[in-house]
A = this chain, B = another copy of it.
Amino acid sequence: MTEPARDKKKPIYDVVGIGNAIVDVLAHVDDAFLKRHALTKGTMALVNADQARGIYAAMPPGTEASGGSVANSMAGIASLGGKGAYIGKVRNDQLGEVFAHDLRALGVEFRTAPATDGPATARCFVFVTPDAQRTMNTFLGACIHLGPEDVDGATVAAGKITYLEGYLWDSPRAIAAMRKAITIAHEAGRKVAFSLSDPFCVDRHRDEFRALVEDEIDILLANEAEICSLYQAPHFDRALQSVHARGDLVAALTRSAKGAVVAIGAEVHVIDAVPIPRVIDTTGAGDLFAAGFLFGYARGLDLGICGRLGAIAAGEVIGHFGARPETSLAALVREHLPELV
C-alpha cells in the first residue's frame, strides 16, 4: 500500500537548521589576553588558517565541544523533545566525526556528506573571561564547501521552520545554498527563520540582511547589538520600531540580563530572563533562546510562551561552561511551565 499523496506534505521536523558546522575550543582567559590579541569582547572574528594556528599556540589549554550557532540550537530543540534535521559541512576528520556524533547522539538527523579534501573541520576558539562573556575567533575550514548541492529539498520541505544563520553569508557558496533553502521552504508553505548571528557579521552584510528581513524571512532572531547594527539605530527601542514597520515579521530580540522582546506587528511581549544563581559562560545563550523560541513556534504555541521557552533554554546554558545544554530542557520546561504539559 502506498502512502496517500496528502501525507507526503505533512512536516516531519519541527526545525531544519542550516549552519556552519564547527567544533568549539573553549578556554578561560583574562581581559589582558583579549587585549594582547586585539579581540573585541562579545563578538566573533573570522581567522584564516595561519591566524588560527597562531591564536591556538598562544591560548591556554582548552576543551573541545561541538558548536556552531544553529547546531547548538538544534541540540536545544532535541533536548526540548523536538524533532530536527541539520545541514552543515565538516571534513572527514576526527573533529568532523566528533561534530557528527554529538548531533546524531541527540537524535538530530545529520546526513550532509563530509568534505573529503580541502581544509579541516571548522574550529571556533571561544575565550571566556571572568565576567562570563565569550569572545570568538572562527576558522571556517570545511564550512566554505557548503553549497546548494548539500541542501536536500525533501528535508527542507519537511521542516515546519527552516532556520538559517547569518554567519553563512561569510561563505559565498553557502549563500546560494541559503537561497535554495528559502525558495524550497516557501514553496512548501513553510516558515523561514534567520539569525543575525553577530554585530560584526551584520556590518559585513548589512544590505543583504536588510533585504532578507524586508522580503524573504518570516522569523528574525537577533540580540540587541545585532538589531541595532542592522538598522544603525542608536538604541534598542529605535531598532524595535524599525522591526515593527515590517508588520508580519515575527521578531525575537534578546537583551541579555534584561530578557527579550518578542513581537509580531502590534503584538509585543516583554519576556524576563530566567534568574539563575550564577552566570558561568554566556556562550550559546542566543542559540538556546532560539531553540526554545523556534520549538514553541513550531508547536503552534502563543508567542509569549515561545519567548518564555527561549528564556528557560538560555538560562540553562549560561549556568555552565559550554554552548549546549547539559540537562534536559524538557524537564526544565515541566518545572517552569507546568501548564504546558
How many residues belonging to A are interface residues under a CB distance threshold of 8 Å?
27
Q: From A101, which residue of chain B is reached at the shortest CB distance?
A: B56
A120 touches B94 (CB 8 A): yes
Q: For chain A residues 297-339, which have a beta carbon within 8 Å of chain B? A: 322, 324, 326
Bound form: Cα–Cα A57–B101 in Å: 7
Query: Which A residues between 270 and 316 are near B, CB-CB below 8 angstroms?
Result: none
Q: Do B105 and A64 have beta carbons less than 8 Å apart?
A: no
A28 touches B326 (CB 8 A): yes
Chain B CB within 8 A of A65 CB: yes
For residue A241, CB closer than 8 A to chain B, the reply is no
Interface of A, secondary structure class, is: mixed
- Measured CA separation A65–B60 after assembly (Å): 13
Taken together, the copies of this chain in the complex come to 2
In the complex, A272 Cα to B65 Cα: how many Å? 35
Which residues of chain B are near A95, meaning CB under 8 Å? 94
Return A119 CB to nearest CB of chain B, in Å: 12
Question: Please, how many angstroms separate the alpha-carbon atoms of A62 and B324 in the complex?
Answer: 10
| A61 B94 Cβ-Cβ under 8 A | no
Chain B CB within 10 Å — which of A61, A75, A120, A326 has the most?
A61
User: Are A64 and B61 in contact (CB-based, < 8 A)?
Assistant: no
Let me know if A63 and B61 touch, CB within 8 A.
no
* Bound Cα distance from A252 to B123, whole angstroms: 41
Q: Are A63 and B65 in contact (CB under 8 A)?
A: yes
